[in-house]
Amino acid sequence: MISSFVITGFLGVGKTTLLINTVKNYFQDKKVAIVINEFGEVGVDGTILKNVYSEVLEISEGCICCKLSEEFEKGVREIIQNYNPEIIFVETSGTSEPFPIFMSLQNLGISVDGVICVIDTKNFDNYKDHSTAKYQIGGSNILVLNKIDLVDEDTLKRVENEVREIKEKYNVKNILTGQPIFKNYVLFKTKYGVLPEEIFLGVADLEKVSKLPENTMPSTHIYDDKFSQKIIYLPDTMEFKELDKLLSNVPKNIYRIKGIVKLKDIPNPLIVNYSFGDLTFEEFPEYNGKSFLVFIGSGLENQNIIKLN
Ligand SMILES: Nc1nc2c(ncn2[C@@H]2O[C@H](COP(=O)(O)OP(=O)(O)OP(=O)(O)O)[C@@H](O)[C@H]2O)c(=O)[nH]1
Ligand SMILES: [Mg+2]
């Protein structure tokens, strides 16, 4: 049986980082396929991950948990047929819930060995009130407090307590029996998504979780989070200081910016990563596409995000 892990968590928490830093190391000898669903039409993570993994399937537009389950299942079937992977990792978009994806994978006869929810310990307060964030925690059995390098001990303890409370309250339940679908969960604290190998060897084995009875849906998703996105293509004549200026005063309703940008005064293209005020750049020499930034937030529809000179 093919096994799989679902990696969920809000926008910018470190899901792709986990795939790059941890998964790669532990599965050197296995045929790994990655399925990635990004919020936004243009794939940043897919482009980055293709550099690391040989088989990456991007399901880009929309969210696989609500609109795209058919496309998701078709894509996974294709990847199995063409590549015959031993293990599949699914990175959900930061705005999706993991549970419908868990069910889709089970429907396809794939064993789901873990649903990992990555949590941004530093920025948790900025996004914890979104219902999606709560259902992501409730729908996972491996909780990962990430970015602990950016917080002090007290914050870490407080966030851990809050996450555990949310887990209790939002734990997915079988609506017929009222019983939790995940009987237990584990919690890890880490930075840059580095996790111990035992996680992937069944320490939090979902096999103990019984298969769902047919026609059973969990109490799920209240669609009160409204996310939108804008993509902006940038001229290659831009200089670093212009880009930096553009990203230094980001309005609060923009949670996440990512993209790949070529600049006049920097030899290699840069991956731009902004989440809740934290901004990083990383060189990406292999990229030769257009320069673009994806802005994700709420109420962006009528907002003029940037002015280009
Ligand atoms: N300081 C610090 N930065 C981190 C850590 N983990 C990830 N990051 C940074 O956080 C940013 C976002 O990381 P990603 O892995 O792209 O996050 P993601 O959850 O895949 O984001 P989306 O797919 O857009 O939702 C990047 O700049 C990472 O380098 C961490 O533990 N500490
Ligand atoms: Mg990602």
Q: Is 65 helix (H, G, I), strand (E, B) or coil?
A: coil
Our answer on whether the CB atom of 96 is closer than 6 Å to any ligand 1 atom is: no
Based on the domain organization, do 174 and 124 belong to the same domain? yes
Q: Which of 116-125, 205-214, 265-274 has the lowest mean pLDDT?
A: 205-214
To the nearest whole number, what is the mean pLDDT of the chain?
Answer: 85
How large is the average pLDDT for residues 200-210?
Answer: 60
pLDDT of residue 60: 66
Our answer on whether the CB atom of 36 is closer than 6 Å to any ligand 1 atom is: no
CB-CB neighbours of 117 under 10 Å? 30
pLDDT of residue 15: 95
Our answer on whether the CB atom of 17 is closer than 6 Å to any ligand 1 atom is: yes
Residue 62 has pLDDT above 80, yes or no: no
* CA 29 to centroid of ligand 2, rounded, Å: 24
Q: Is residue 159, in this structure, part of any structural domain at all?
A: yes
* pLDDT tens-place string over residues 25-47: 898 889 999 999 877 656 788 88
Q: For CA atoms 225, 108, 58, 92, give the dihedral sign.
A: positive
CB 1 within 8 A of CB 57: no
Query: Best substitution site from 274, 275, 276 to test ligand 1's pocket, by max atoms within 8 Å of Cβ?
Result: 275
Q: Is residue 220, in this structure, part of any structural domain at all?
A: no
Nearest CA to 192 out of 45, 18, 51 is that of 18
* pLDDT tens-place string over residues 177-196: 778 888 889 999 999 999 99
**In angstroms, what CA-CA distances link 45 with 40, 106, 123, 188, 305?**
11, 25, 20, 24, 22
Based on the domain organization, do 176 and 43 belong to the same domain? yes
Query: What are the φ/ψ torsions at residue 63 (nearest 5 degrees)?
Result: -120, 125
User: What CATH number does residue 255 fall under?
Assistant: 3.30.1220.10
Based on the domain organization, do 91 and 190 belong to the same domain? yes
Based on the domain organization, do 170 and 261 belong to the same domain? no
Based on the domain organization, do 13 and 142 belong to the same domain? yes
Q: Is residue 213, in this structure, part of any structural domain at all?
A: no
Q: Is residue 218, in this structure, part of any structural domain at all?
A: no
Based on the domain organization, do 197 and 154 belong to the same domain? yes
* pLDDT tens-place string over residues 74-121: 889 999 999 999 999 999 988 888 888 888 898 899 999 999 999 999
Q: What is the distance between the alpha carbons of residues 90 and 180, in angstroms, rounded to a whole number?
A: 23
Residue 303 has pLDDT above 90, yes or no: no
Question: Which domain-ending residue is among 172, 206, 240?
Answer: 206
CB 38 within 8 A of CB 46: yes
Q: Give the CA angle between residues 294, 298, 300 to the nearest 5°.
A: 60
Number of domains present in the structure of the chain: 2
CB 226 within 8 A of CB 249: no
Q: Is residue 221, in this structure, part of any structural domain at all?
A: no
How large is the average pLDDT for residues 48-54?
Answer: 83
Q: Which of 59-73, 87-101, 116-130, 208-222 has the highest mean pLDDT?
A: 116-130
User: What CATH number does residue 182 fall under?
Assistant: 3.40.50.300
Q: What is the distance between the alpha carbons of residues 196 and 190, in angstroms, rounded to a whole number?
A: 10
Based on the domain organization, do 199 and 249 belong to the same domain? no
User: What is the extent of the structural domain holding 189?
Assistant: 3-206
Based on the domain organization, do 195 and 241 belong to the same domain? no
Q: Whole-prediction pTM value?
A: 0.87
* pLDDT tens-place string over residues 6-19: 999 999 999 999 99
pLDDT of residue 295: 87
Q: What is the distance between the alpha carbons of residues 220 and 300, in angstroms, rounded to a whole number?
A: 26
Question: Which domain-ending residue is among 206, 237, 256?
Answer: 206
Contacts of 156 (CB under 8 A, 6+ apart): 121, 145, 148, 189
Based on the domain organization, do 236 and 189 belong to the same domain? no
